[in-house]
Structure 1
Amino acid sequence: MAQAWRCSGLRWSADGPELVWDGGRRSALNRGKRVAFGVAEGGVRTCVGARRHPCPRRAAVSGRGTGARCEECARLDRAHSVAADTIADDPRPYHVYLAWFGPGMTKVGITAVERGSARLLEQGAVCFSWLGAGPLMAARRTEELLRAALGVPDRIPYADKRAVRSSLPASEAERAAEVAELHARAVALTGWPESLAPEPCRPVDHAGVFGLAGLPPAVGAVGELVAGGAVSGELVAAAGPDLHLRTERGVVVVDARLLTGWELVAVEADGELTVPVVEFRGREGGVQDGLF
């Protein structure tokens, strides 16, 4: 029987994206690599737990959700989440940033200074700049100020990000233009918290890191993994949690968050894609040491 591996998700390191497996093993995801894995017949997706604790019930969860948590564990995770605005006493300094994902898609967000640009890579930000740094609540107030005064959202749907990745402006200057314009408008606002120190606009571009140059339009995205199904394809780009794989159907996007909670097994590298795919219509959208 093939050895099964339980995926903990995709992480961005200094060397690029990696799939992380329970126990700490990592699989580097280099462009041009053949990615192939499957779910055994009879496999069930189970809750990944919360706050580094396993789900006490090992509850079964839907294959379509990106969180892979049961209701109880999801509630516990949100109760200790900066992103969900449920923590107010974190003593760490925070960055406020502007992140660009495509024309007309710039968002404001915050991330702990100690994390550097990891949060931006995880979100698939094609270009970003820091806006300022300071205590958590000051960063939150600045984020709210930009939303109210400039109409800058704090979330961009992943479907919208995927839809434009293959048709982005070719030059870094063009990709940075909206961030620079919003940065100038933001620092000119009155009402900034005194404890938040503004930072100059210094756009950082991730198009090369993600492999977006010449990226073919995706024909669809994997909707879920299923028992007995397999994913196989050549990695042509990776942005945020999304793996763009060249398959027999064309380029298909696999959101790596759909892998969590499943026990995965190795399959033939030249196999076919046999999991449900949601087609994009009218949009651009020995000892086994690992699965691949």
Structure 2
Amino acid sequence: MWRCAGVRWPPGARVGVLEWEGGRISPLVAGKELGFRAEGPRRCIGARGNACPLGSEVPGRATQARCGECARLDRAHSVAADAVPEDPRTYRVYLAWFGPGMLKVGITAEERGPARLLEQGAVVFAWLGRGPLMAARRTEELLRAALKVPDRIPYAHKRAVRAALPDSAQERAAEVEALHARALALPGWAEALERLDFEAVDHVGVFGLEGLPAATAVVRELVDGGVVAGRLVAAAGPDLHLRVAGDGIVVVDTRLMTGWGLVGADAAAGVSVPTAGVRGAGSQDGLF
């Protein structure tokens, strides 16, 4: 039995990997056949590298496989929750684009490079500035307030447009470039934050989105004994787009896989877990 630790994007890699407890990985190469069966119940994965002391069960539809206590512990050390304002590392402010009209602002530790953008499934991104954590946070808030740029884009919205992106990298970068110019022209930037010139980074090739067929369904949750199997078409952020015999393209959010025990299944076995339609698509070396 294997336990998934989620998708990771190694520095400089051209593909993501599924990471497993114990450090093993499965490269997410397009065309790869994947098949697994869940064996439950789904258990809390703990927090900050520590196992859940109670081994609590967690709901199948939760994207974070943590019980209430472990979730609070994890949040207590989170930069996103402003729990560590004294963090001495250099941070970067970025603009990320997921499709037409879908832009967000965010911050990430400079030492992580583009990993945060890959994890979110950003199709295009550009750096805006770099400096201390609280200066980066103040600038992020400035952009949200002055330019009405959100700091979150729902994954359902991201999935709905991946198969209908502009063909050229220049078209995909246009909205980011325009917003970048407006952001740099704003007064009120934190003095400690260095402004950065515009340079677009495009992840269409890394994610395998060129010619991506529209998704027909998305997995809502895994269940004990449920199977997910197909051929990998693309991997963007935590999402795997699988071509499933008889079902078209089915999207699996790998965050739903954490906390389950997984065993191998025939790649032709299809999908026997609950799924839902995708908005905008018609009606709306290891285990593998």
Q: What is the rounded CA distance, in whole Å, between the counterparts of 1:158 and 1:282 in structure 2?
A: 13
The TM-score with structure 1 as length reference comes to: 0.95
Equivalent in 186, 190, 205 of residue 189 of structure 1: 186
Relative to structure 1, the CA distance from residue 88 to residue 171 in structure 2 (aligned partners, 3 Å threshold; closer, same or farther) is: same
Equivalent in 109, 119, 123 of residue 120 of structure 2: 123
Q: How many residues align?
A: 284
**Secondary structure of 2:16's partner?**
strand
Q: What is the rounded CA distance, in whole Å, between the counterparts of 2:61 and 2:264 in structure 1?
A: 21
Equivalent position of 1:214 in the other structure: 211
Are 1:93 and 2:90 counterparts?
A: yes
> What do the CA deviations read for 1:190-213 (whole angstroms, capped 9, x no partner)?
011110000000000001111111
Deviation at 1:279? Answer: 1.7
Q: What is the rounded CA distance, in whole Å, between the counterparts of 2:279 and 2:148 in structure 1?
A: 29
- Which 4+ stretches in 1 moved above 6 angstroms? none
Taking the TM superposition and a 5 Å limit, the aligned residue runs for 1:200-211 are 200-211=197-208
Equivalent position of 2:221 in the other structure: 224
Equivalent position of 1:105 in the other structure: 102
Deviation at 1:282? Answer: 5.0
Equivalent in 171, 191, 197 of residue 174 of structure 1: 171
> What do the CA deviations read for 1:222-277 (whole angstroms, capped 9, x no partner)?
00000011110110011000000000200010000001000100111221211111
Q: Which amino acid aligns with 1:204?
A: V
Q: What is the rounded CA distance, in whole Å, between the counterparts of 1:126 and 1:95 in structure 2?
A: 18
Equivalent position of 1:291 in the other structure: 287
Equivalent position of 2:31 in the other structure: 32
Deviation at 1:134? Answer: 0.2
Relative to structure 1, the CA distance from residue 96 to residue 282 in structure 2 (aligned partners, 3 Å threshold; closer, same or farther) is: closer
- Are the aligned partners of 2:241 and 2:249 in contact in 1 as well (CA < 8 Å)? yes
Deviation at 1:39? Answer: 1.3
> What do the CA deviations read for 1:150-207 (whole angstroms, capped 9, x no partner)?
0011000000000000001110011000100000000000011110000000000001
Q: What is the rounded CA distance, in whole Å, between the counterparts of 2:101 and 2:64 in structure 1?
A: 27
Q: What is the rounded CA distance, in whole Å, between the counterparts of 2:133 and 2:42 in structure 1?
A: 35
Taking the TM superposition and a 5 Å limit, the aligned residue runs for 1:243-254 are 243-248=240-245, 249-254=247-252
Q: Which amino acid aligns with 1:247?
A: V
Identity between Structure 1 and Structure 2 (%): 65
Equivalent position of 2:146 in the other structure: 149
Deviation at 1:281? Answer: 5.4
Deviation at 1:130? Answer: 0.2
Deviation at 1:85? Answer: 2.1
Q: What is the rounded CA distance, in whole Å, between the counterparts of 2:21 and 2:236 in structure 1?
A: 22
Q: Which amino acid aligns with 1:105?
A: M
Q: What is the rounded CA distance, in whole Å, between the counterparts of 1:23 and 1:111 in structure 2?
A: 26
**Secondary structure of 1:251's partner?**
strand
Deviation at 1:290? Answer: 2.1
Flag structure 2 segments of 5+ consecutive residues without an equivalent: none
Q: What is the rounded CA distance, in whole Å, between the counterparts of 1:210 and 1:281 in structure 2?
A: 20
Deviation at 1:17? Answer: 1.0
Q: What is the rounded CA distance, in whole Å, between the counterparts of 2:279 and 2:198 in structure 1?
A: 37
Q: What is the rounded CA distance, in whole Å, between the counterparts of 1:178 and 1:111 in structure 2?
A: 21
**Secondary structure of 2:80's partner?**
coil
Q: What is the rounded CA distance, in whole Å, between the counterparts of 2:255 and 2:225 in structure 1?
A: 19
Q: What is the rounded CA distance, in whole Å, between the counterparts of 1:84 and 1:253 in structure 2?
A: 29
Q: What is the rounded CA distance, in whole Å, between the counterparts of 2:244 and 2:80 in structure 1?
A: 35
Flag structure 1 segments of 5+ consecutive residues without an equivalent: none
**Secondary structure of 2:269's partner?**
coil
Q: Which amino acid aligns with 1:180?
A: E
> What do the CA deviations read for 1:64-118 (whole angstroms, capped 9, x no partner)?
0010000000011111101122220100000000000001100000000000000
Q: Which amino acid aligns with 1:276?
A: P
Q: What is the rounded CA distance, in whole Å, between the counterparts of 1:207 and 1:220 in structure 2?
A: 21
- Are the aligned partners of 2:231 and 2:267 in contact in 1 as well (CA < 8 Å)? no
Q: What is the rounded CA distance, in whole Å, between the counterparts of 2:152 and 2:33 in structure 1?
A: 32
Q: What is the rounded CA distance, in whole Å, between the counterparts of 1:15 and 1:184 in structure 2?
A: 29
